[in-house]
Amino acid sequence: MGSVPWHVAKDAGASLALRSRLGAITLVLLCAVQFLDIADSAIVNVALPWIQHSLNFSQQNLQWVASGYILTYGGFLLLGGRLADLLGRRRMLLAGVAVFAVASLAAGLAYEPGLLVGARLVQGIGAALMAPAALSELTTSFGQGKDRNTALGVWGAVSGMAAAAGVFLGGVLSAGPGWRWVFFVNPPICVLVAAGAIALLAAGRGTSSRSVRFDSQGAALATAGMLLLVYSLVQAPIVGWGSAQTVATLTGSAVLLAAFVGNELRSRNPLLPLVILRVRGLVAADLTQLIAFCGFFSLFFFATLYMQEVLGYSPLKAGVAYLPTTAGFAVAGGLASQLVTRIGTRPVVVAGCLIAAAGIFWVSRVPLHGSYVTGLLPGFLVMSLGAGSVFVSVTAAANAGVAADKAGLAAGLLNSSQQVGSALGLAVLSAIAITRTRHLIASGASHLAAADGGYRVALLVGSMIMAAAALIALRIGNTRQAAPVVMVSTDAAPQREAAAAPTTNGATGPRRRYREQ
């Protein structure tokens, strides 16, 4: 781009070169947002014992310190992604950063349980505004092909590294300056991210105009349906899958989401233009992400319990145990971005799912008092290599063929799949672990051996779920670069109004949107 300012080049439709200094800094900025969102899901888990003791949380309410964030994060992602398209990606990124920073400060200052849980709920809303805005900014900023695939490789590597680093940082901060610093560390980072966004990102106004009405009814139905779905999955392991509460909330979420689909079919300006689902491979990519996270999340959860409750690791030592996986995610991100360019997304996703499944299976076979070096570490490394490849290639596949004005929506769908998958995996596998543990205790096993048996069977099922994601991935489009986009009419406006709409070359013609060839 020479000496042309990035804002000018962006407005002119040029893509940002990753090899340029400005491109590299922009990528770091966007990945910092993803790191912040993902790490905050894990960093608090390690601090929960200190939080419970400090604020006198009941055991039942303590889980909402972690679950409250997941609930609103998953529930508002679809809305956040669409708002990024309509109102502008930078604007929504800055709004999300501001909400996240204020909520983090409030959480750190909380002096009673209700305030902390409330702050975590608001924090999740901020994350839901940030994440799709950052990912859609990345996919629209970097050119198709090698630059975009490399950028997505870094993004995917950061996603995996953030989960491991969050556990480590939670232990370091809680054991050092105190649990409040797991929240106080966020506002300074948010200030840097906001300053970088203002300096580097173009201030686009999105696609909204005064003539376009926001689909408020669709937004309400989608958000309420997603909130109730995630709430059902979070509560199911506690109240039971067959309880009246679980059945009622799952049924309610299904009704709300069905009503949302009906509303979108009728709406002139839908929150979720269903035509985006015609993009070849997008649905398969999102489903692969959902199922993969069902299995992937199980390793961090149950392996952490195994290290602390069976091996007697401190929270800090358990966090340190995951540090080698950050190297695995980094290596996988670099390799996967190159492989996607050469052989396409489908084989990379399939192979990554199978490799990650093998790593989780390895950990499931670790004996009662196993060794970290010969038991856990090899499985952790294999899992990180496979999962890191999946994150990169699934993200590339889910964004291929999506037009720029729907990039935020595509990012919201992908991130929603991730959050629902994590919640679903934890709910299902926790129920399996609890059932196995109770059976072993009834058979005369010690509580320690029974707990270990529950963790192992949950990890075994998690590895099977991860392998099942490979089957779904066979339906993903094998994209080496971005898939071609073809425009199709979707507006319900009268033909005479559509005929007067300007086309991209300045002539008049039908108003058009897209689907992939």
CB neighbours of residue 461 within 10 Å = 21
Measured CA to CA, the distance from residue 260 to residue 221 in angstroms comes to 5
In terms of average pLDDT, the best of 214-228, 379-393, 399-413 is: 379-393
Give the separation between CA 152 and CA 336, rounded to whole angstroms: 9
pLDDT tens profile 19-40: 678 888 888 999 999 899 888 8
Among residues of the chain, what percentage have pLDDT more than 90?
31
At residue 167, the pLDDT reads 81
Q: Which residues pair with 516 in a beta bridge?
A: 485
Q: What is the pLDDT of residue 510?
A: 35
Terminal alpha carbon distance of the chain: 31
Structure tokens belonging to residue 26: 């922009």
Report the pLDDT averaged over residues 354-376. Answer: 92
- The CA distance from 257 to 24, in Å, is 40
Going 52 to 416 to 331 to 461, the CA torsion angle's sign is positive
Q: Is the per-residue pLDDT at 513 higher than 60?
A: no
Rounded to an integer, the average pLDDT of 474-487 is: 59
Token pair 């014992």 in the structure block, residue: 49
- Max alpha carbon distance in the chain (Å)? 80
For 320-342, what is each residue's pLDDT tens digit?
Answer: 898 899 889 889 988 988 898 88
Q: Please list, in sequence order, all residues whose beta carbon lies within 8 angstroms of the beta carbon of residue 178, skipping any fewer than 6 positions away.
A: 50
Provide CB contacts within 8 A for 21, sequence distance 6+.
none
Nearest by Cα to 99 from 57, 27, 40 = 40
- How many C-alpha atoms does 51 have within 13 Å on its Cβ side? 33
- State both tokens at 7: 């804002």
Residues 6+ apart with CB under 8 A from 108: 180, 181, 182, 183, 184
Query: Can you tell me the distance from the alpha carbon of 240 to that of 232, in angstroms, rounded to the nearest whole number?
Result: 10
pTM of the model: 0.78
250-259, 442-451, 485-494: least confidently modelled range: 485-494
The CATH architecture that domain 13-204+271-481 belongs to is Up-down Bundle (1.20)
Domain boundary assignment for the chain: 13-204+271-481, 215-270
Among residues 392, 393, 397, the alpha carbon closest in space to that of 476 is found at 397
Per DSSP, which regions of 407-516 are E strands?
Answer: 485-488, 513-516
Q: Is there a contact between 458 and 432 (Cβ–Cβ < 8 Å)?
A: yes
CA gap 77, 285 in Å, rounded: 17
| DSSP one-letter string for 263-276 | HHHH-SS-SS-GGG
Closest CA to 37 of 133, 181, 151: 133
Q: What pLDDT sits at residue 212? A: 52
- Collapsing DSSP states into helix, strand and coil, what is residue 214? coil
Share of the chain above pLDDT 70, in %: 86
Tell me whether strands 513-516 and 485-488 are parallel, antiparallel or unpaired: antiparallel
Evaluate if residue 94 carries a pLDDT over 60: yes
| DSSP per-residue string spanning 23-53 | HHHHHHHHHHHHHHHHHHHHHHHHHHHHHHH
What's the average model confidence in pLDDT over 57-71?
80
In whole angstroms, what is the distance from residue 497 CA to residue 381 CA? Answer: 58
Identify residue 223 by its one-letter amino acid code.
Answer: T
- Residue 499, pLDDT above cutoff 50: no
What is each CA distance from 426 to 23, 420, 433, 463, in whole angstroms?
A: 37, 10, 10, 13
Cα torsion angle, 290, 359, 240, 41, sign: negative
Where helices occur in 177-243 by DSSP H, the ranges are 181-184, 186-200, 216-239
pLDDT in tens, 127-173: 999 988 998 888 888 876 677 778 887 887 888 788 788 888 888 88
- Report angle CA 271, 277, 280 to the nearest 5 degrees: 150
pLDDT digit string, tens, across residues 225-283: 888 988 888 888 778 888 999 999 999 999 999 999 998 888 877 877 877 877 777 88
User: Would you state the torsion angle of the CA atoms of residues 26, 29, 31, 35, taken in this order, to the nearest 10 degrees?
Assistant: 180
C-beta separation of 131 from 163 below 8 A: no
Q: Please report which confidence band the pLDDT of residue 213 belongs to, taking 50, 70 and 90 as the band edges.
A: low
Q: How far apart are CA 477 and CA 496, in angstroms?
A: 37
* Tokens matching residue 127: 């994350």
Q: Enter the tokens of residue 162.
A: 């953030």
The candidate with the shortest Cα–Cα distance to 189, out of 318, 32, 45, is: 32
Q: Give the model confidence (pLDDT) of 398-443 as tens digits.
A: 877 777 777 888 888 888 888 888 888 888 888 888 889 999 999 9
Count other C-beta atoms under 10 Å from residue 228's C-beta: 22
- Looking at residue 277, what DSSP letter applies? G
Q: What is the pLDDT of residue 231?
A: 86
pLDDT at 506 over 70: no
